[in-house]
Amino acid sequence: MKLSEICEKLGIAYNGEEREIAGLNALQEAGQDEVSFLENPKYASQLSATNAAAVLVTASMAQQLPAHSIPLIVDEPYIVLAKASAFFAPQRLEHDLPETAVGEGTVIEEGAFVAKGSRIGANCHIMPGVFIGNNVTIGDNTILYPNVTVYRDCVIGRDCIIHAGTVIGSDGFGFATTKLGEHIKIYQNGNVVIEDDVEIGSNTTIDRAVFKSTVIKKGVRIDNLVQVGHNCVIGEFSVLVSQVGLAGSSRLGRNVVMGGQSATAGHLSIAPFTTIAARGGVTKNVDKGGVYGGFPLMEHKLWLKLQGKLARLLKA
Check residue 315 and give its pLDDT.
82
DSSP labels, 39-64 = --GGGGGGGGG---SEEEE-TTTGGG
Residue type, 37: F
Check residue 16 and give its pLDDT.
84
H helices, E strands: number in the chain? 3, 35
Q: Enumerate the β-bridge partners of residue 117.
A: none
pLDDT at residue 83, as a whole number: 97
Assess contact for 118 and 100: CB atoms under 8 A: yes
Q: What is the pTM of this model?
A: 0.94
Residues assigned a catalytic role: 230
Beta bridge partners of 281: 263
Block means of pLDDT (10 residues each) for the chain, 316 residues, are 95 90 94 94 90 95 93 95 96 96 98 98 98 98 98 98 98 95 97 98 98 97 98 98 98 98 97 98 97 95 91 84
Helix (H, G, I), strand (E, B) or coil at 105: coil
Structural domains in the chain, CATH included, are 3-88 (3.40.1390.10), 101-301 (2.160.10.10)
pLDDT value at residue 153: 98
Main-chain phi, psi angles of 291, to 5 degrees: -115, 125
Give the pLDDT of residue 269: 98
